[in-house]
Chain A
Amino acid sequence: MNTPVTTSLAQTPLPVSAAKPLLQARAARRLPQERRWSTPVIVLAQCALLIGGVLAWELSARQGWIDSFFWSQPSKIQEVLMVFFTQGDAWIDISFTFRATLAGFIIGTTLGTLIGLSFWWSGNYAAIVQPFIVCFESIPKLALAPLIILVFGIGLPSKIAIGVALTVVVSALTTFAGVKSVDRDLERLMYALGASRWQVFCKLVVPSVLPWGISVLRVNIGLALTGSIVGEFISSQHGLGRAILYAGQTYEIALVWVAVLVLSTLSILMYVAVAHIERVLMKHVKR
């Protein structure tokens, strides 16, 4: 049985005579490796870059290389910054924007998470509502901002409402994705042990969806801030957004820069705080 196979193999010798393709001589090399600098060196480089940039800006404005009317200059900005905080509305504006953002963030995230979780209770309800949610997601919500201002007035509530509109969908859709990924076998196990739907919801669905809900916190704080700034742009009596718009309209370019600087600082602080909360929560939730 084996014999014919062997012979047929033997009858087709390897094409040893075929010309060997030309290879370049083998050059031994080391694995390419970048030598990483230590953290202090990196930080030092970053500071140098920043200071260099600011100095270059100042110098160009003084030398007239750039038009300081439009671009302003660091020394002027620093002056206006002091004035903004000592004589201006700095704290009122910061507090207004901060409160609007925080409220929009909390309400939108909570509401969105609850909506997402609610889809677990009924597949029919989820199937009916889902297309509407997706439609709402695809609308540029900021386009609705003027309408929201009309409905909620020019005060704080309208800024919160825009923030909620931006964050609620993100939370709802992410949480719903989490709901769909709940381990079916764990669900079956709980039912086999005689669990009620409420028990499965509390002991399984909520804990497994929590990481999904938490993972959008950082995105949502940014969205809520965008919402309140846009609201302030459209119509407002306070807020950093209004300060930027007002300064721009009156050609106080230095004040624009100041407000943007303060806004960025606020944004970074809130982002860092939320990122920290997210990390702490994740540690408790996920193993």
Chain B
Amino acid sequence: MSTAKIELRGVTHDFVTGEGQLFRALDNVGFSVSPGRFISLIGPSGCGKSTIFNAIAGLQTPSAGSIIIDGREVTGMIGLVGYMLQKDLLFPWRTVLDNVVLGMEIRGVKVREAREYARPFLARYGLGGFEDQYPAALSGGMRQRAALLRTLLFDSEIILLDEPFGALDAQTRARMQEWLLQIWSDFGKTVIFVTHDVEEAVYLSDEIYVMAARPGRIRARLDVPLARPRPRHITLEPAFARMKERCLALLDEEALTRGDAPPLGAQAPSAEPALAIEPPPPSAQRLSTPGLAA
């Protein structure tokens, strides 16, 4: 019925706080991603982005709602998506190569075979010569590459990246973004990307979901009307700037109206026809990508 790679329906999560009260971290979050798309979640700190990822990865079963991958309900199941965090989380006692094959090893591949399989990828994606080094000997950017390769070689079609470049300096970060786009087009995975950096979200994504906090929810969905492949100088074009402004405006509004329920749909004077700003629809079903809605 649905061609979505991954879909969230009415995902709601309440944390029990220290005082025994319920804290609603996610409220009725729903979206769906078609195969091979690159989408970003942006929003203020604490709006529940990581909680969404933990729910998708099966590390935290949401209080309500469901997660559907390939049309199958997989709420609370682990081992179905690749997950990468801002911390590289490389094992210090494993070489880079052995770190990269961890996912395959867990899937039961023999270590020797996994190494043989992974070696060419390390060479191809800028880690050649570092295979037998330990993570401590690598720069921050190199470590993130290794962590990302580990996530990719895990052989899942969905990749969750939680602020993966947040700790890198601007220059390294820009290089990593281009590298990520290269890898994404090579592997054709479905990527969900979390970032603080609006420019990063616009540069990388096909779609951007802007989130709001307290409770965490999706506030708007924007299509990014930029052609691929995207050379770096695309960030200087007016369309890029307009897109960025649109995101910032939504985030600003959110910051101003923090605390009270914003009048949804009231602020969508779609001046730019290419930017499809939608209020989050009541049911996630209706939130398929425009092309598929028909």
Interface residues, chain A, CB within 8 Å of chain B? 183, 185-186, 188-195, 199, 203-204, 207, 285-287
Contacts and interface: CB of A to CB of B under 8 A. Distances in A.
Interface in B130-174: 134-136, 154
A286 B89 CA distance: 16
Interface of B: 57-59, 78-83, 85, 87, 89, 91-93, 102-103, 105-107, 134-136, 154
A287 B92 contact: yes
A193 B103 contact: yes
Contacts of A183: 89
Contacts of B81: 192
Given A186-B89, A287-B136, A191 B102 contact: no
Contacts of A199: 106
Given A185-B85, A188-B59, 8 more contacts: A190-B106, A191-B58, A193-B82, A193-B103, A193-B154, A203-B106, A285-B93, A287-B135
Contact of B89 (A185, A203, A285): A185
Given A287-B134, A287-B136, A195 B106 contact: yes
Contacts of A188: 59
30 contacts: A183-B89, A185-B85, A185-B87, A185-B89, A186-B89, A189-B83, A189-B85, A189-B89, A190-B106, A191-B58, A191-B78, A192-B57, A192-B59, A192-B79, A192-B81, A193-B79, A193-B102, A193-B103, A194-B78, A194-B79, A199-B106, A203-B91, A203-B102, A203-B105, A203-B106, A207-B93, A286-B92, A287-B92, A287-B134, A287-B135
B59 A204 contact: no
Contacts, number: 53
A227 to B, nearest CB: 33
Contact of A286 (B85, B93, B102): B93
B266 to A, nearest CB: 36
A147 B82 CA distance: 58
Nearest first, the 7 closest Cβ-Cβ pairs linking A and B are: A194-B79, A192-B83, A287-B134, A192-B57, A195-B106, A287-B92, A193-B103
A193 B91 contact: no
Contact of A287 (B80, B85, B93, B105): B93
B293 to A, nearest CB: 32
Contacts of B103: 193
A192 B107 CA distance: 12
Contacts of B87: 185
Contacts of A186: 89, 91
Contact of A207 (B91, B102, B105): B91
Contacts of B82: 193
Contacts of B85: 185, 189
A118 B248 CA distance: 51
B34 to A, nearest CB: 23
Contacts of B135: 287
Contacts of B58: 191-192
A191 B79 CA distance: 7
Among A188, A192, A207, the most chain B Cβ lie within 10 Å of the Cβ of: A192
B59 A191 contact: yes
Nearest to B154: A193
Nearest to B83: A192
A191 to B, nearest CB: 5
